[in-house]
Structures are given as C-alpha cells and as structure tokens.
Amino acid sequence: MNILVTSAGRRVKIIEYFKRVLALNEGKVIATDCDINAPAIYFADDYEIVPRIDNANYIEILLEVCKKHKIDAIMSLIDPELEILANNQSLFNSNNVKLILSPSKYIDVSFDKYNTYTYLDSKGIQSVPTYSDLNTVKQLLQQGELTYPLVVKPAKGSASLGLFIVENENELHEAFHKFEGQIIQPFYKEKEFGIDVYIDMLSGELVDMFIKEKIHMRAGETDKSISIHNEKIEALIKELVQKTKFVGPIDIDCFEYKGEYYISEINPRFGGGYPHAFESGCNFMSYILNNLQGKENKLYNGFKYEKDLVMMKYDNVQLVHRLK
C-alpha cells in the first residue's frame, strides 16, 4: 500500500507516522510539494517536486506521480487543495487511486466559515454565531444581543491570518473593510480546544477522538496543549458525526463560553496539533490503512488516551544536499 502525501510542507511528523505504519505492511510514503526546501519531503520514502496547486496541469502531473510510484491513495495537508482533489474524484477513481477525503459538499462547507456556521446551525449543532453583513451586526449591537469585543476575520482564511479583535465601532468598520469576504463573530474564547477525530471511511461511524486544550498557538497551529477528557465536548462531536457525512481524519476547533461549547471551525484533514493525539495512542494512520484495505475499524467506545499529558513542539534542523 503506497500513499501519496501532497503539499507536505513542514508536516514532518505526519510523514514519519505514515512511514511507521506502512513499513509494517511493506508500503511506502511518497511526498510532494512545490518547494524543494519543504522539510517534510525529505522524511518520506521518496518525493517529487510539483507545480503549485493552481497550475493548469496540476492534476495531470499528480496522476503521473501516482503511476510512477504505484500510488494507492492520496491525502493532502492543506485546505485549498482539498477542493481541487474532490472536484477530480472520478478521475482518480478511474485510475484506481483513492482519496482520503470527505465528500466535496463537506469540503465546501468547511472552507467558508460563514457556510460552516449556517450549515451547523441548520442541523441544530451548537457553533459560534457568524455574520457576513455589517448592518446586521450593528443592529444586534444596538439591541444588546451582541457586545464587544468582536472577532473579524476572512471567511476563507487560515492560520489566523487577517484576524482582528475589535473593541468599538470604528475598529469594527476598519477591520471589516480591510479585506473582501470578512465575517464577524462574538469573542467566545474563554478556553480553546482542538479535537482530532477519525470517522470510518467505509461505515461513516465515529472511530476515535482526541481532545486537547490549547495552551499556546504559533502561526495558527497548536504549539502547546494538554490532553483532557470532556464529556460535553465528546457529546458535541458525536452529534456532529451523526448529523453529517464527514469521513477520514478531521480537525475541529471548539470554544468554551459561559460553560457551553461551540464549534468554531472544521478542517477535513489532519490538523497541526495531531502529533499530540498520535503520541498519546490515537493512531489514525492505522485506521486509514484498515479502510484502504477494505476493513472497517472498531466503533468509538470512549477515551483511550491518558489525560493531563502536555505536548510541547520544538524546532529541529535537517541538512540535505542541494539538488543539481
């Protein structure tokens, strides 16, 4: 079983975890990136340098990589590529390459934070209220249904880029008109949590989840976190899985506010904080391998990891010979 990890970037641990699992099954991990200096590609069994994902020939080149390395399945690590892969699902299927990916509808829902809120709200799933209309927000402020501070950020942003916390109307106007496609949310960030979830790609049932309280963020990714057991968050995630059709690995952000829990974002891919889950015993790579081999995983039956384990990321250095 050979897996292609695209847009590998800095996700060294994801590559290492896949290698660890696939090596037991005589499989290999191939990585791609558009940057020859992307660290993660050098930890794979082999790699290919490909164009940017917006290149007109990107999918064609990926298929050539799949044929060269006898790839069985593809997984991307960045949001913009998920939609591109999903839109070409039938083409990959015809080449006997599986996508480790949720259905395109759910990728579309996840990629736009306003769409995420409206969809979850329609399903009765508690999530952070999100507004795309400035006049509506001003009216809610006048009625006392919203109060400062508010969060203003791009509906399709990532890594906390373009995020503003505003304290008054002048700041609200300035932040909202800073970029196109801004959204506004109440500041529900008493505590922030990240949940790594695996949903079986065959049965659609919940297999595993790992809940961590975020202690420190860096460039939009969890840098320090502590594992917790929280029954309210557990119930919220179960409800999400039951009412949607996400599959595979997904990464969920959740806020605590006045004793209640609200989903903030859903990323249908591995999150930057996943190493905390793997090192605590939540081996999503083995679940993926089972599914790719046509085997359903056992259903979720409670927390399988120890609480109060702290993850602390730190930098490392990798030297490689420059390619001629």
Question: Residues 123-140: pLDDT tens digits?
Answer: 999 999 999 999 999 999
Report the pLDDT value the prediction gives residue 159, as an integer from 0 to 100: 57
Report the pLDDT value the prediction gives residue 188, as an integer from 0 to 100: 87
Torsion sign across C-alpha atoms 17, 23, 24, 27? positive
Q: Are 236 and 125 in contact (CB under 8 A)?
A: yes
Helices (H), 70-168: 79-87, 89-94, 104-111, 113-122, 134-142
Q: What is the DSSP letter of 298?
A: P
**Could you tell me the two tokens for 17?**
């975890």
Domain ranges of the chain: 2-101, 129-186, 189-312
Report the pLDDT value the prediction gives residue 190, as an integer from 0 to 100: 79
pLDDT tens figures, 54-91? 999 999 999 999 999 999 999 999 999 999 999 999 99
Q: Which CATH number fits domain 189-312: 3.30.470.20, 1.10.3720.10, 3.90.245.10, 1.10.460.10?
A: 3.30.470.20
Distance CA 80, CA 9 (A): 14
Q: Are 184 and 131 in contact (CB under 8 A)?
A: yes
Q: What is the DSSP letter of 154?
A: E
CATH class of 2-101: alpha beta
Residue with tokens 């006997």: 96
Distance CA 128, CA 116 (A): 10
Interacting residues of 228 by C-beta distance below 8 A, sequence separation 6+: 193, 211, 212, 213, 307, 308
Superfamily covering domain 129-186 = ATP-grasp fold, A domain (3.30.1490.20)
Query: For residue 122, what are the CA distances in angstroms to 113, 115, 125, 134, 259?
Result: 14, 10, 8, 22, 22
Report the pLDDT value the prediction gives residue 156, as an integer from 0 to 100: 86
Q: Mean pLDDT, consecutive 10-residue segments, the chain of 324 residues?
A: 94 95 90 95 96 96 97 95 95 96 94 94 96 95 94 80 88 92 90 96 98 79 87 98 97 94 95 93 97 97 94 74 62
Report the pLDDT value the prediction gives residue 172, as an integer from 0 to 100: 94
CA 254 to chain centre: 13
Report the pLDDT value the prediction gives residue 48, as an integer from 0 to 100: 97
